[in-house]
Amino acid sequence: MDTTTLFIVGLTLLVAGAVAVGELASRFGQAALIGQLAVGVILGPTLLGPWIGLPSISAEFSGLQILATFFVLMTAGLAVTPEQISATGVPAGLLGVGMFLVPFLSGSLVVHLLYPSLAWTTTWFLTLTISITALPVLGVMLHEFGLMKSRFGTYVLNGALVNELAAVTTFSILLRIRQGTDAPWLDATIAVVSVAVFLSAILAVHQGLRSLRQLRLWSRMVEGVRDTWRSREAGFALLIVGGLAAALFSQAIGLTFLVGAFYAGLLVTPESAGVREHRQLTRIFDAVTWGFFIPLFFALVGLNMNLRDLAVSPSVLLTFIALCVFAFMSKVAVGGWITRSLGWTGSDALGAGFLVASRGAVELAMAVILLSLGVFTTTLFTIVAGVGLVTTVLSPIGARPFVRKLAATAREPADESLRPWLDTALPPSADPDWPLAGSK
Residue 58's CATH number: 1.20.1530.20
Q: Please report the pLDDT score of residue 46 as a whole number.
A: 85
Q: Please report the pLDDT score of residue 440 as a whole number.
A: 29
Q: Please report the pLDDT score of residue 70 as a whole number.
A: 86
pLDDT at 218 over 80: no
Q: How many domains does the structure of the chain reveal?
A: 1
User: pLDDT digit string (tens) for 76-85?
Assistant: 777 666 666 6
pLDDT at 33 over 50: yes
CA–CA gap between residue 357 and residue 138 (Å, rounded): 9
pLDDT at 375 over 80: yes
Q: Please report the pLDDT score of residue 359 as a whole number.
A: 80
pLDDT at 226 over 70: no
Q: Sorting pLDDT into bands at 50, 70 and 90, what band is 149?
A: low
- Is 423 a member of any domain? no
Span 246-250, average pLDDT: 87
- Is 290 a member of any domain? yes
Helix/strand/coil (H/E/C) assignment for every residue in 201-257: HHHHHHHHHHHHHCCHHHHHHHHHHHHHCCCCCHHHHHHHHHHHHHHHHHHHCCCHH
- Is 36 a member of any domain? yes
Span 56-72, average pLDDT: 79
363: left (phi over 0), alpha (psi -120 to 50) or beta: alpha
Contact predicate 198/209, CB 8 Å: no
- Is 143 a member of any domain? yes
pLDDT at 86 over 80: no
The mean-pLDDT minimum among 96-105, 338-347, 403-412 falls in 403-412
- Is 130 a member of any domain? yes
Phi, psi of 150 (to 5 degrees): -95, 160
Among candidates 313, 293, 409, which has minimal Cα distance to 361? 293
- Is 168 a member of any domain? yes
pLDDT at 290 over 80: yes
Domain hosting 333: range is: 3-413
- Is 424 a member of any domain? no
Q: Please report the pLDDT score of residue 321 as a whole number.
A: 93
- Is 436 a member of any domain? no
Rg (CA), the chain: 21
The mean-pLDDT minimum among 1-5, 35-39, 101-105, 292-296 falls in 1-5
Contact predicate 272/213, CB 8 Å: yes
Q: CA angle, corner 173, sides to 383 and 357, nearest 5? A: 40
Contact predicate 264/82, CB 8 Å: no
Q: Please report the pLDDT score of residue 416 as a whole number.
A: 43
